[in-house]
Amino acid sequence: MSFPTPSSSRQGDAAAPATPGLSRRAALGRLLAGGCALPGLGLAAPAFSGLAAVAAPQPRQGGYLRVAAAAAAITDTLDPARQSNQTDYIRGKMFYNGLTELDAHLNPLPALAESFASDDAQEWTFRLRRGVHFHDGKPLTPADVVYSLMRHKDPAVGSKANAIAAQIDSVAADGPQAVKVRLKAPNADLPVLMGTFHFHIVADGTTDFRLANGTGPYRCQEFRPGVRSIAVRNPGYWKPGRPYVDTIECVGIVDEVARVNALLSGDIDLVSAVNPRSALRIAATPGFTFMTTQSGQYSDLVMRQDRGPGANPDFVLALKYLMDRELMMKVIAQGHAMVGNDQPIDPTHTFYAPGLPQRPYDPERARFHLRKAGMAGARLPIVASPAATYSVEIALVLQYAAARVGLELEVKRMPVDGYWSNHWMKHPLSFGNINPRASADAVFTQFYQSTSAWNATGWKNLRFDQLLVAARSELDENRRRALYADMQALVHDECGSGIPLFIASIDGLSSRVKGLSQIPLGGLMGYSFAENVWLEG
Amino acid sequence: MNALVLRLIAARIGLALVSLLLVSAVVFAITALLPGDAAEEKLGLEATAETLAALRHEMGLDRPALLRYGDWLAGMAGGDPGRSVVSGALVGQLIASRLPNSLLLAGLTAAISVPLALGLGIAAAMWRGSRFDRAVSMGAVAVVSVPEFLIATLAVLLFAVQLRWLPALAYTGPDAELAELARAYALPVFSLCCVIISQMLRMTRAAVVDQLRAPYIEMLRLKGASPLRMVLRHALPNALGPIANAVALSLSYLLGGVIIVETIFNYPGVAKLMVDGVTQRDMPLVQTCAMLFCAAYLLLVTVADVLGIVSNPKLRHR
């Protein structure tokens, strides 16, 4: 598997597919675009009319863009290894680059690496782009890459990617313009991982992250954790003509209402993480619009399979049939979601398996499985929390459906604070929330492999584990797709994880802001809007 | 008089130190009860056993809790509140970067609300029973009954979103001009004034009315003193004690209690810093903020008491 250097015109087009699965993905893209015209998603129409102009008009240079993300704390950091929230990721994407970057279907595209290749998925060669400089003028060298990747393995760095980096055996320079990454075991998704936020490249030896010194489209002029950052255009950026905006001021506004008010009062041009009700408000205000981004984020009903009622497969199936997914999509997410099918890979992803039949809401079948499990008339607690997006609402819909087939669910609503350490995975029935992962392998490995610490349901399936390892060393994309389809079918049929919805993120923007499109890692173009947007005069 | 005041201040300072110590112990005990520690909060779902252990070591969380409390206390006694465990920054610097913001907001609010509340309260007391008095009293009750988040949100919707006269966010950055500053602070100051004015106004009115009913006022009236002189020269000094206390209580709220206004206007003040500290289990930061709020409260209440004594002729000449 190897990737050619794209022409400079294609680098800019984040949606341009770079791999052979073109026709399928293009078809999917049309499918998604079409879906937005359905009544349930009709709300998105104003956003797309505003964005339809993306390709045609010439981007304009200059201007001052004010962005508000949803997180702000004194722990905000410019150290890629420690970044943990969307405000951090926005800054990471402004100031740094990875070896690769991800397109609209999370395929890896060349970035600081102009090409990458491997014969066995275990030893990878990344050929570095020439003429790239850090903001302080230092040229990019293999030593920077070695340092940036290996520091994740040092526990003292406190890297969020420490567990992922554990698979890296060694990173070494291969001549003056290339780096060899040797893994402990094959992983065909390494180029995808290299395009994620934590693996951004910093200069060799950097330990001071009070300001950022990266290769990214903006230089860091001011950074005050929990308050704001000011980014100024990097005139020497390696993507010709980019970025467009002169200055980007980025603040975190934690309160959603305050964030939307700041947009509508004209104090902020672009805000992330808007809820569906506010989206209506934004659409109703002249001069503003919103953009919906589907992603792999989901909240799942976690049914422990090693103890309690979930140990009975019929009980698990009963609850899966009790989920009225259409209703949840329309009422809870107001159309800003996609119906899930208990498979953890979402329809925007390149490895989504479209062949699985959609599991319907079927109270009769649920009643049948419930009786078979001997659980008819049972009374069970189900733990939900605002910490897992929409989980309280999902639990209430489920409770109503369950009551009609003779199962009494008692919804226990837990506070956000401490939910993940004290409640998630700790009860027979609870809710989890999985943020979008770029790599399908990462989703399967972290949440479904028998040995994973976050295998929330305690699911153990030997065949799944074998397929997972086989897929990692499979460089042929079609064969890998087939393996991933089998694994999604296994999770769909047998795992105690009920996935009712894939949750979209919604951004609000002033109609002056142009050039945004969707990258399904999250809102604001998977946080990489900075080098893509421009401001209309 | 001097001896009395000095003794009172000395006793108050001693009590204040004991209170601060108790508060720090209580805050420490409560933060220790919160689920999870700073390392877990920071790594979240990405935590592994090794990174957790390394981070705990870096944060000093692998040492016994009482030892950490002792260290912090010893540092605090020497004027050094230590480092934030989650960001590694000096707690002193963190607070120093936010305190001026909080003081500016509190100062502006006080400068507007205190004279307004006292003026309206005294006027209402002088013309008690009149239409003016009833309007002011009812207005005060109405305003204090509306929660501040509603006032602030409605004000933002009206003045920022609909009319676009004022910005929805209060923070201006370090190099803002005066006009910009005034525009930015207008809405948060207005919201806070609504919260604290009525308390002070009603207390002032009640205290002055109380004095105006006293026999010595009747005596003054018989002697032919003008109403204004009666109130300002004679009734007010006697009413100053309770008024000063009401003012002190309201003002102490302005430092630590304004989290809602700071959230709605995304204003980087100390209250938000402390709430951040709690969610991140940043013990030294939470402790130091609690000390700060507690000290400010004690200071204001002590000043109010001293003012009450100094201004009260009966106490002054005892």
In a domain, A486, yes or no: yes
- Inform me whether the pLDDT recorded for A484 exceeds 60: yes
CATH of the domain at B293: 1.10.3720.10
Chain B residue numbers with beta carbons less than 8 Å from the beta carbon of A421 are 35-36, 40
pLDDT tens for A357-383 read 999 999 999 999 999 999 988 999 999
- pLDDT score recorded for residue A232: 97
A271 touches A259 (CB < 8 A): yes
Burial environment of residue B149 by CB neighbours within 10 A (0 to 12, 13 to 18, 19 or more): middle
Average pLDDT, chain B: 85
- From the list A160, A254, A454, the residue facing B43 with the nearest CB is A160
Task: Please give the tally of structural domains in chain B.
Answer: 1
Between CA A140 and CA A157 the distance in angstroms is: 22
CA dihedral sign, ordered A257, A261, A264, A266: negative
Average pLDDT over residues A483-501: 96
Q: Which residue of B has its CA nearest to A152?
A: B51
- Inform me whether the pLDDT recorded for B228 exceeds 50: yes
Q: How many residues does chain A have?
A: 537
Average pLDDT over residues B166-187: 82
- pLDDT score recorded for residue A360: 96
A158·B55 Cβ contact <8 A: yes
- pLDDT score recorded for residue A94: 97
A155·B161 Cβ contact <8 A: no
Q: How large is the angle between the packed helices B178-212 and B91-126, nearest 10 degrees?
A: 50
- Inform me whether the pLDDT recorded for B259 exceeds 70: yes
Q: Which single residue is written with the structure tokens 């819909």?
A: A397
Peptide bond into A243 cis (omega under 30): yes
A85 pLDDT tier (thresholds 50, 70, 90):
confident
H helices present in B34-177, as ranges: 38-43, 49-59, 65-77, 91-126, 131-145, 148-155
Structure tokens of A325? Answer: 């997914």
Residue A5 DSSP label: P
Least confident range from A38-47, A158-167, B155-164, B201-210: namely: A38-47
In a domain, B128, yes or no: yes
Average pLDDT over residues A317-322: 96
- pLDDT score recorded for residue B314: 66
- From the list B40, B58, B268, the residue facing A226 with the nearest CB is B268
CA neighbor of A127 nearest in space, from A106, A139, A145: A145
Chain B residue numbers with beta carbons less than 8 Å from the beta carbon of A162 are 46, 48, 50-51
At residue A465, what is the residue type?
D
Chain A residue numbers with beta carbons less than 8 Å from the beta carbon of B54 are 155-156, 158
Between CA B284 and CA A427 the distance in angstroms is: 33
Decide which of B42 and A152 is more confident. Answer: A152
Q: What is the 3-state secondary structure (H, E, C) of A114-135?
A: EEEEECCCCEEEEEECCCCECC
- From the list A265, A417, A422, the residue facing B168 with the nearest CB is A265
User: Is the CB of A22 inside 8 Å of chain B's CB atoms?
Assistant: no
CB pairs A-B closer than 8 Å = 118
Q: How many residues does chain B have?
A: 318
User: Is the CB of A209 inside 8 Å of chain B's CB atoms?
Assistant: no
- Inform me whether the pLDDT recorded for B174 exceeds 80: no
pLDDT tens for A118-147 read 999 999 999 999 999 999 999 999 999 999
B73 pLDDT tier (thresholds 50, 70, 90):
confident
- Inform me whether the pLDDT recorded for B277 exceeds 60: yes
B1 pLDDT tier (thresholds 50, 70, 90):
low
Within 8 A by CB and 6+ apart from A3, the residues are A18, A19, A108, A109, A110, A115, A116, A117, A191
The rounded percent of chain B whose pLDDT value lies above 70 is: 95
Chain B residue numbers with beta carbons less than 8 Å from the beta carbon of A161 are 46
CA neighbor of B258 nearest in space, from B266, A380, A330, A433: B266
Between CA A264 and CA A274 the distance in angstroms is: 12
Helix (H, G, I), strand (E, B) or coil at A472: helix
In a domain, B24, yes or no: no
Average pLDDT over residues A326-351: 95
Average pLDDT over residues B64-88: 83
Chain B residue numbers with beta carbons less than 8 Å from the beta carbon of A75 are 42, 86-87, 280
What residues make up the domain containing B300?
Answer: 98-308
A483 pLDDT tier (thresholds 50, 70, 90):
very high
A261 pLDDT tier (thresholds 50, 70, 90):
very high
In a domain, A161, yes or no: no
Decide which of B183 and A303 is more confident. Answer: A303
- Inform me whether the pLDDT recorded for A21 exceeds 60: no
B58·A74 Cβ contact <8 A: no
Chain A residue numbers with beta carbons less than 8 Å from the beta carbon of B44 are 84, 160, 420
Query: Most B CBs within 10 Å: which of A261, A434, A454, A455, as the mutation test of the B interface?
Result: A261
Q: Which residue of B has its CA nearest to A249?
A: B173
Between CA B64 and CA B139 the distance in angstroms is: 54
- Inform me whether the pLDDT recorded for A17 exceeds 60: no
- pLDDT score recorded for residue A132: 96
B218 pLDDT tier (thresholds 50, 70, 90):
confident
In a domain, B25, yes or no: no
Chain A residue numbers with beta carbons less than 8 Å from the beta carbon of B51 are 155, 158-159, 162-163
Burial environment of residue A252 by CB neighbours within 10 A (0 to 12, 13 to 18, 19 or more): buried
- Inform me whether the pLDDT recorded for A510 exceeds 90: yes
- Inform me whether the pLDDT recorded for A29 exceeds 90: no
- From the list A84, A417, A421, the residue facing B279 with the nearest CB is A417
- Inform me whether the pLDDT recorded for A248 exceeds 50: yes
- pLDDT score recorded for residue B178: 82
- From the list B50, B160, B265, the residue facing A155 with the nearest CB is B50
CA neighbor of A495 nearest in space, from A352, A394, A344: A344
Between CA A515 and CA A291 the distance in angstroms is: 12
- pLDDT score recorded for residue A155: 85
Shortest distance between the Cα of B27 and any Cα of chain A, in A, equals 18
- pLDDT score recorded for residue A41: 37
Q: What share of chain B is helix, strand, coil (3-state, %, to 5)?
A: 80, 0, 20
Average pLDDT over residues B18-35: 84
Task: Please give the tally of structural domains in chain A.
Answer: 1
Decide which of B60 and A184 is more confident. Answer: A184
User: Is the CB of A537 inside 8 Å of chain B's CB atoms?
Assistant: no
- Inform me whether the pLDDT recorded for A493 exceeds 50: yes
Shortest distance between the Cα of A395 and any Cα of chain B, in A, equals 22
Shortest distance between the Cα of A285 and any Cα of chain B, in A, equals 10
Chain B residue numbers with beta carbons less than 8 Å from the beta carbon of A155 are 50-51, 53-55
Structure tokens of B116? Answer: 């307004």
B161·A264 Cβ contact <8 A: yes
pLDDT tens for A91-118 read 999 999 999 999 999 999 999 999 999 9
In a domain, A326, yes or no: yes
Least confident range from A200-214, B1-15, B112-126: namely: B1-15
- pLDDT score recorded for residue A58: 85
Shortest distance between the Cα of B93 and any Cα of chain A, in A, equals 12
Average pLDDT over residues B72-82: 83
Structure tokens of A425? Answer: 């995975």
pLDDT tens for A305-314 read 998 899 999 9
Q: What is the edge-to-edge ordering of all strands in the sheet holding A168-173?
A: A113-118, A123-128, A178-183, A168-173
The rounded percent of chain A whose pLDDT value lies above 90 is: 79
In a domain, B73, yes or no: no
Q: Which residue of A has its CA nearest to B87?
A: A75
Within 8 A by CB and 6+ apart from B131, the residues are none
A267·B169 Cβ contact <8 A: yes
Chain B residue numbers with beta carbons less than 8 Å from the beta carbon of A264 are 161, 168
CATH of the domain at A388: 3.10.105.10
In a domain, B124, yes or no: yes
Chain B residue numbers with beta carbons less than 8 Å from the beta carbon of A166 are 48
- Inform me whether the pLDDT recorded for A212 exceeds 80: yes
Within 8 A by CB and 6+ apart from A510, the residues are A263, A266, A269, A270, A287, A288
Q: Which single residue is written with the structure tokens 């949803």?
A: A70
In a domain, A321, yes or no: yes
- pLDDT score recorded for residue A56: 56
Q: Which residue of B has its CA nearest to A425?
A: B45
B168·A261 Cβ contact <8 A: yes
- pLDDT score recorded for residue A407: 94
Average pLDDT over residues A146-172: 92
In a domain, A58, yes or no: no
Q: Residue A383: what are its φ and ψ, rounded to 5°?
A: -100, 120
Structure tokens of B161? Answer: 């979103």
User: Is the CB of A386 inside 8 Å of chain B's CB atoms?
Assistant: no
- pLDDT score recorded for residue A180: 97
A149 pLDDT tier (thresholds 50, 70, 90):
very high
- Inform me whether the pLDDT recorded for B205 exceeds 60: yes
In a domain, A299, yes or no: yes
Least confident range from A49-58, A208-217, B121-130: namely: A49-58
Average pLDDT, chain A: 88
Q: Which residue of B has its CA nearest to A224?
A: B97
CA dihedral sign, ordered A488, A493, A496, A497: positive
A446 touches A454 (CB < 8 A): yes
- Inform me whether the pLDDT recorded for A15 exceeds 70: no
In a domain, A386, yes or no: yes
- pLDDT score recorded for residue A22: 37
What residues make up the domain containing A410?
Answer: 294-503
- pLDDT score recorded for residue B6: 80
User: Is the CB of A74 inside 8 Å of chain B's CB atoms?
Assistant: yes
Decide which of B192 and B280 is more confident. Answer: B192
Which parts of A96-217 are beta strand (E)? Answer: 100-102, 108-110, 113-118, 123-128, 168-173, 178-183
